[in-house]
Amino acid sequence: MLALFLLTLVGCNKHSDLEFKLDTAEQLMQNKPDSALYLLSNIPASKIKGKRCKARYALLKSIALDKNYIDTTSFEVIQPALDYYLEYGNADERLRTLYYQGRIFQNQGADDDAMTCFMKASDLGEVITDTLVLANTLVSEAMLYDKQYKLDDFIRCHLRAAELYKTIGNILYEVKSYTNAMDAYTLKSDRKTADSLMQICFPLVKKNKDSESFLFNSILLYTLRFGTKEEIRDFLSKHQHNDLSSDDLMDFAKGYTKLGEYAQALHCLQNVELEADVQDSLKYITIKLDIFKQKGDFKNALRALEDYTAMHEEYMSNLLSQNLFFADQKHQRSCTDTICGDETMKSEPAESHYVVLDSLAIYKIQTDKSMMLNNLIRYQSGKYLLDLSLDDAKKIGISEMMYNQVLEHVEQLNNSNLKLK
């Protein structure tokens, strides 16, 4: 085995022209990834000899494809790197290989396998020198925590990534990670910590104007959560002519809804361009539901509620059909494994990718339905009522027991109202 390993090293070093091209591609990768990809694509396969050279070429080609936004779902290109670096590579080579393997799993929609790769990669943090890839790994890990609504883990990853970006002078990504963490603290209603992160970002944005948009998005979310109606109105008025993203427009719609300016809120939503992201679609429908409810348009509110319920249950079903919720425990159990390779993933029994809904998962789904049901309680002619029939509730997957619980809540509200009179 040792003799074979030494032969692969010698075999690669003999091809100095190939080594020069690979070195050049690596140097071009960060700022001119298109040139790096062009150079790599024009190296004849017959010139790439030896396991080490094949591994290096495979990893560089995978990086180049990713940086040129060519999302591949096949392991064909990266496989030589998986076969070689995960066994013989140094810490940085293993880090990069695991990260880009995880990226391919993400492209496949295999989020649980992607998370396993990212966690194994971030475990190498103490011994690596490629700070940028480690920070990017943590950001990718955070994205998957976001899908699971695990805000504390989302925050942890982004704060650690921000510190890493800071050490290499990448202000743009540093601000992006700090503002992502700030958004999570805002959602947790932790105003004090959100304020602290905002103050960290102000001087950084002055040094890098390109990062202004990240802080703007976070201040918008912060203002909607903690601001008075007057502060919300001032912010929206000041920035209404900005070049707003679809996410900004949805937040503006939320703001106008809080102010009771429903026509303006709906106008914002009309300009939203929804892509394939389910979370954005859920956010869009939630805002629309709130607008209709506040307007007293309960017919359209019910339609929006039906759309939300169907989409949310499909989203949760897809999420729970993988092992993503349990990736942390899975990683802890397998932390002694030496390979996070394609074949390892494939060798797992098929049933391991399906999980039975546990009580926590059911609770999360039911809590969302309860919240939506409570949103349909309205006050009319001196008393509270639930503007939804039991039959309609059943059509959108709300159980009779939950429906009756909300009816009891309505009765309690009316009894309290009578006592006050």
Residues 272/252, Cβ–Cβ less than 8 Å: no
288, pLDDT greater than 70: yes
Work out the pLDDT band at 385, boundaries 50, 70, 90: confident
Please determine, for residue 365, whether its predicted confidence score (pLDDT) is greater than 70.
no
CA-wise closest residue to 103 among 129, 130, 139, 132: 139
How far apart, in whole angstroms, are the C-alpha atoms of residue 163 and residue 223? 26
In a domain, 159, yes or no: yes
Evaluate whether residue 201 is within a structural domain.
yes
More confident residue, 168 or 347: 168
Q: Does residue 350 lie within any of the structural domains?
A: no
Residue 200 falls inside a structural domain: yes
The predicted structure's pLDDT at residue 358: 40
Which residues constitute the domain of residue 150?
A: 130-226
Residue 176 covered by a domain: yes
Do the domain assignments include residue 331?
no
Q: What is the pLDDT of residues 26-79, one digit of tens each?
A: 999 989 999 999 999 999 998 999 999 999 999 999 999 999 999 899 999 999
Cα-atom radius of gyration of the chain, to the nearest Å? 26
pLDDT in tens, 92-127: 999 999 999 999 999 998 998 999 999 999 999 888
The total number of structural domains in the chain stands at 1
Check residue 371 and give its pLDDT: 57
Domain contains 384: no
pLDDT at residue 302 in the model: 87
pLDDT exceeds cutoff 90 at 239: yes
- pLDDT band of 356, cuts 50, 70, 90: very low
N- to C-terminal Cα distance for the chain?
A: 88
- Which range in 214-218, 346-350, 378-382, 416-420 is most confidently predicted, on average pLDDT? 214-218
pTM for the whole structure: 0.75
Residue with the bigger pLDDT between 203 and 309: it is 203
User: What CATH number is associated with residue 194?
Assistant: 1.25.40.10
| Residue 142 forms part of a structural domain | yes
How many Cβ atoms sit within 10 Å of the Cβ of residue 411? 12
8 Å CB contact between 372 and 396: no
